[in-house]
Each structure stands twice: as structure tokens, then as C-alpha cells.
Amino acid sequence: MPKTKNIKYQRVRTLPNVIIRETDEAPGGCPWQSFADNRRTILELGCGKGEHSIGFASAFPDALCIGVDLKSHRLCSGGQRGLELGLTNLFFLRARVERIMDFFREGSVSDIWLTFPDPHPKQRGIKHRLTSPGFLEIYTRLLSPGGTVHLKTDSLLLYTYTRDMVDVWGGNILVSTRDLHGGNPTGKGARDIVSAFEAKALKRGDTIKYISFTLNQEAP
């Protein structure tokens, strides 16, 4: 492990706003559970360094914002930045998306953000796409009535796949654009935060795709 990553791996375990759960460790005991009731809860899955979660926590001080990722060194960057900014409504969680229900009650999340997840372009990787049916089932359980899923991606494959999956699952596409930063104001709220990854994609000339949608409460 590179020296910088190793330092962050050790440091992240000391940050009060980062929750580490090992695979064999019992869930529960998350600090947000004591004050999550009656608050808008925004969950970012695959948050990386947490740039979107930090932006949400800054923009919505009354909301509870939680970024989830598996990479400890990335969570360390987000956790440290959150502390520097004094964001008491921001937390990070190291956990697999497949186990996210261990940490949240059903119907407790207002918004789920998927920010530039791996598109898994090969056939054998389809089930790992964060908008495949197995994950949509998890989101259906997590979301409160009327709750929204948001996807930002530079992958046309993942964007079109997600549109198709919403149709198959059953839901309502609220906003859908193949060029989030184009002249059309559609998806304006999603343009307010630009991560380092997103900035690099734009510099390459890539367009950012965005889709937001609700899901039917019953699986097809």
C-alpha cells in the first residue's frame, strides 16, 4: 500500500464523522440514528472523496448527509474536509452497498445519489451496476414515499441501461439529459456540484449524463 494511502487508512479510523464497519462486525450504533427522524436524509453511494456529500451538507444544513464508499483513504479525505468545514450534519460510512440496509431503516432516505459509479461494461458485470434490479430493490426499501434516485455518469451505456431498468422495474423518470452542462437548464440542481472526476471528464470533452427517478414500491 502506498505510504499516503497507508497514512490515511490509519487516520480515517480516528475521525469522529467516519464509521468503519468490518464485514464480520455487527451493524448498528451509527451516530446519525439518534437524530435522523424527521430530517431529510441524502445518501451518496460510491461517494469517493465525498465532494457531492460535502456540497449537499453545506447547501442543506438541516439535512442529514451520508457518503458511503469502500475505500478508506477516500473516506479519510472527505471526513477531514467535513471536519474542517464544521459540517455536523455530514457523516461517512465504509460499507458495501449490498449491506446498506444494515444501517438504515426502511423508508428513511429522501434522496439517493449515484455519482459516477463503475458502468461495468462487460456482460458478466451487469449485475454489479448500481442500477441493476438487485440494487433497485434495495433503493425501493430505503426510500421514503416520493424519494428520488439520482445518477450522474459519463457513460452513455450506464445512462441508457438505467432508463431501461426504470421502465422495466416501474417508476417515474423525473429528469433525463445526455448533456447536463449543456445549454438546456434541465437538471440544473445536479450541475451545482462538480467533482474532480467530473471536471476531468468535461475537460476531455465528455458530456455528463443525468437521470433522476422514483421507483414503484413493489418489484415487477
Q: 120 lies in a domain?
A: yes
**pLDDT value, residue 11:** 79
The three state secondary structure string of 102-125 is: HCCCCCCEEEEEEECCCCCCCHHH
For 55-87, the pLDDT digits (tens) are 999 999 999 999 999 888 889 999 999 999 999
pLDDT at 13: 82
Is 167 one of the annotated active-site residues of the chain? no
In a domain, 146, yes or no: yes
Q: Mind listing the pLDDT tens digit for each residue in 192-213?
A: 999 999 999 999 999 999 999 9
Total domain count, the chain: 1
- Please give the grid coordinates belonging to residue 181: 452542462
The pLDDT of residue 12: 81
Q: Would 44 be classed as within a structural domain?
A: yes
Per annotation, catalytic residue among 62, 102, 118, 164 = 118
Q: In CATH, what number is assigned to the domain containing residue 201?
A: 3.40.50.150
Q: Note down the domain range covering 162.
A: 3-21+30-215
User: Is there a domain that residue 63 lies in?
Assistant: yes
Please name the residue that has the C-alpha cell 458502468: 119
> CA geometry: angle at 1 spanning 114 and 85, to 5°?
50
Q: Residue 26's pLDDT band (boundaries 50, 70, 90)?
A: very low
Residue 103 placed within a domain:
yes
Residue 155 domain-assigned (yes or no): yes
Residue 218 pLDDT: 66
pLDDT band at 24 (very low <50, low <70, confident <90, very high): very low
Does residue 220 fall inside a structural domain? no
In a domain, 90, yes or no: yes
